[in-house]
Chain A
Amino acid sequence: MKAVIFIISTVVIFLIMNQLYKKYTYPFLLPLLTTTIILVIILLSFDIPYADYMEGGQYIQHLLGPAVVGLAFPLYNQRHLISKYKYTIISGIFIAMISGLFTIYFMLRIFKLDESLILTALPKSLTTPIAMQVSETINGIPPLTAVLVMIAGFGGALFGPFVYKLGKIQSPISRGISMGSASHGVGISKLRDYSEEDLSMGSLAMGLSAIVGAILCPIFVMIFF
Chain B
Amino acid sequence: MPFFALTMRIIRTILQIIILYIFYYMGVLIVHYTGLPLPASVIGLILLAACLQFKLVKVDYIREGAGFLLAFMTLFFIPPMIGIIDYPELLSLHGVILMIAVFLSTMFTIFITSTLSEKIEKKELAVKEKKDREGEGAIESSHIHH
Size of interface on B: residues with Cβ below 8 Å to A: 71
Does A70 lie within 8 Å of B69, measured CB to CB? yes
Closest B residue, CB atoms, query A71: B45
A161 to chain B, nearest CB (A): 10
> Does B40 belong to the interface (CB within 8 Å)?
yes
**A95 partner residues in chain B, CB cutoff 8 A:** 112-113, 116-117
Q: Mark A99-112, 1 if CB is under 8 A from B, else 0.
A: 11001100110010
Smallest Cβ distance from B98 to chain A, in angstroms? 6
B69 to A: closest C-beta gap in Å: 4
Known contacts A85-B121, A142-B80: A65-B113 contact under CB 8 Å: no
A-B contact count (CB 8 A): 305
When distances are taken between beta carbons in the complex, the residues of chain B under 8 Å from A103 are: 104-105, 108-109
**In the complex, how many angstroms separate the beta carbon of B54 from the nearest chain A beta carbon?**
11
**Docked-complex contact B41 and A155, CB < 8 angstroms:** no
- Chain B, 18-38, contact with A by CB distance < 8 Å: what is the 0/1 string? 001101100110000000011
Which residues of B have CB within 8 Å of A87? 120, 124
Q: Are A32 and B101 in contact (CB under 8 A)?
A: no
Residue B118 interfacial (CB < 8 Å):
yes
List, in ascending order, chain B residues with CB within 8 A of A31's CB. Answer: 74-75
Which residue numbers of A lie inside 8 Å of B, CB to CB? 10-11, 14, 18, 31-32, 35-36, 39-40, 43-44, 50, 53-54, 57-58, 60-61, 63-76, 79, 85-88, 91-92, 95-96, 99-100, 103-104, 107-108, 111, 113-114, 117, 120-121, 124-125, 128-130, 132-134, 136-138, 141-144, 146-148, 151-152, 155-156, 159-160, 163-164, 166-167, 169-171, 173-175, 177-179, 181-183, 210-211, 214-215, 218, 221-222
Residue positions of B touching A, CB distance < 8 A: 17, 20-21, 23-24, 27-28, 37-42, 44-46, 48-49, 52-53, 59, 62-63, 65-67, 69-70, 72-87, 89-90, 94, 97-99, 101-118, 120-121, 124
- A95-B116, A155-B107, A177-B114 given; name 20 further pairs at CB < 8 Å: A50-B82, A50-B83, A61-B79, A65-B40, A72-B48, A72-B52, A75-B45, A79-B53, A91-B116, A92-B117, A99-B105, A104-B101, A108-B97, A124-B106, A129-B77, A155-B106, A167-B115, A181-B113, A211-B46, A222-B37
